[in-house]
Amino acid sequence: MKSTTKQNKIKKVNKLLVKQFGIPPSKKELPDSVDMIIATILSQNTNDTNSHKAFQKLKLKYKSWEELLKVRRTTIEKEIKVA
């Protein structure tokens, strides 16, 4: 199948989806970049549920990522073990 044919099909499907469901609202506030990087790293070797739990544990225990920089690696490993 040619590339332009695929692109046309994708555009058609997109039009149909927008017509049926509308365009979803975008968030006004973008997520914190460091939060996104850490969440992505935690998600690499586990499922979403466990990576989310590990991320939440870190966010609840440490007031900032700068504070986490001062913590021993083994301590962090214990905190994110669920992931």
Q: Are 66 and 38 in contact (CB under 8 A)?
A: no
pLDDT of residue 3: 72
Domain boundaries in the chain?
A: 33-79
32-83 residue pLDDT tens: 999 999 999 999 989 999 999 999 999 999 999 999 999 999 999 999 998 8
Sign (positive or negative) of CA dihedral 8, 12, 14, 18: positive
